[in-house]
Amino acid sequence: MYWQKTHYTYDIYLFVPFFLMITWILTVENVEYTSSKNVVQIRFRPEDPMQFTAWQFVFLQRLWFTYPDGKVMKNAYSIGSSYEEYEQKGVFSTIVKKSSETGMSAYLTQEIQSGDTMQCTWPLWHFVDPKTSNKYLFISIGSGVTPIVWLYKQLAASNSTAQIVNIYGERYAADILPSLQELFVNNNNFYNLLYLSQDEVLPAHRKKWHIQDGLLDAFEILQDNNYIAFLCGKPAMVDEVTEILINKWLTKEQIVSEKY
C-alpha cells in the first residue's frame, strides 16, 4: 500500500530513514474473514507498549521470510483502532484485501493465523481530529474503509450529536466483513449508503453501482456546505470524488483524503 500526496498528507519517504529504526513484535490475536476469504480484519497484540493516533499506519513485515532476491515481505497498512481502544484491550486492528496471488496481501488474507508473529514499524502519518466539525461525509471503498471505521466508531461511542453520511463501496457482498456490515447497518443515528458495483443480486441495505452515485443524496441530507469530508480508497476514486466535491460544494480545506 502506497500513500500518495494529497491535501493534508505527506510523503512517507521523508520520514522512513529515522522512524523505521523503531520496531515492535506483534502477535496475531484473531482474524475475522469474509465469506469470500479475500478480505480480513486482523487484530494484533504488541509485545511492548505502542503510541499511535488516528489515521496513522504501520509497515507490517513477515518475519523469517525473504524473497529469492533477499528482499523482505513488507507493506503499509492503516490502523483501524483508536488509541483508547488499544489502551483498553491491548490490541489494534487493520483491514486487508487480497490484491494478488503473492506478496503481503495474499499472506495476510490466506495464510496468517492466530498466534502468528509479525514485526511493525513506528506508526507514521498525521493526527486527524474528528471533533473539529459537527457534520461529516465519509467516503471509502475496499480496505480504504479502515481509517473510516475508527472515526465512525469514535463518534458512535461518544453519543455524538454529529450528523454523518457514510458512503461505503465494495465490488461484492461476499467481500464485506460481518462486523463491518453490522456496524453500518445497525447504526440508526448515522445515514449509511452502502454500494456494490458488481453483484447482480443485492442483499438488504445495499445499492447498485458506485459510491459517486450517492453524493447528491449526501448533499441533500447534510443540507449545507458546512462539513468535513474524509475520503479513502483508490487514486481514481479519490481524485474523481474530490473534483466533484470541490466543483459543487466544498473547498480543498474541507477535504481530508488518503490514496492507496
Read off the C-alpha cell for 225: 456546505
Interatomic CA distance for residues 235 and 49, integer angstroms? 34
What pLDDT, on the 0 to 100 scale, is given for residue 21? 62
Q: What is the pLDDT of residues 117-146, one digit of tens each?
A: 999 998 887 656 655 677 889 999 888 899
Residues 152-160, mean pLDDT to the nearest whole number = 75
Residues 181-207, mean pLDDT to the nearest whole number = 75
What amino acid is encoded at 164 in this protein?
Answer: I
Residues in the chain: 260
pLDDT tops 70 at residue 181: yes
How many CA within 13 A on the CB side of residue 202? 13
What pLDDT, on the 0 to 100 scale, is given for residue 219? 83
Domain boundaries, the chain: 12-121, 130-259
130-259 is a CATH 3.40.50.80 domain: yes
Confidence class for position 6, pLDDT limits 50, 70, 90: very low
Q: Assess whether the region 12-121 and the region 130-259 belong to the same CATH fold.
A: no
pLDDT tops 50 at residue 200: yes
12-121 is a CATH 2.40.30.10 domain: yes
Higher pLDDT, 149 or 17: 149
What pLDDT, on the 0 to 100 scale, is given for residue 9? 36
Interatomic CA distance for residues 140 and 150, integer angstroms? 13
pLDDT tops 60 at residue 15: no
pLDDT tops 70 at residue 149: yes
Residues 76-82, mean pLDDT to the nearest whole number = 90
Q: What is the pLDDT of residues 227-250, one digit of tens each?
A: 889 999 888 888 988 998 998 889
Interatomic CA distance for residues 204 and 73, integer angstroms? 39
pLDDT tops 50 at residue 47: yes
How much of the chain exceeds pLDDT 70, in percent? 84
Average of per-residue pLDDT values in the chain = 82
Higher pLDDT, 189 or 41: 41
How much of the chain exceeds pLDDT 90, in percent? 34
Interatomic CA distance for residues 62 and 108, integer angstroms? 9
Residue 198 gets the label, from left (phi > 0), alpha (psi -120 to 50) or beta, of: alpha
pLDDT tops 90 at residue 34: yes
Residues 170-188, mean pLDDT to the nearest whole number = 86
pTM of the predicted model, to two decimals?
0.83
Residues 63-92, mean pLDDT to the nearest whole number = 90
How many CA within 13 A on the CB side of residue 156? 19
What pLDDT, on the 0 to 100 scale, is given for residue 30? 96
Confidence class for position 207, pLDDT limits 50, 70, 90: low
Short-list 15, 243, 254, CA closest to 126: 15
What amino acid is encoded at 199 in this protein?
Answer: D
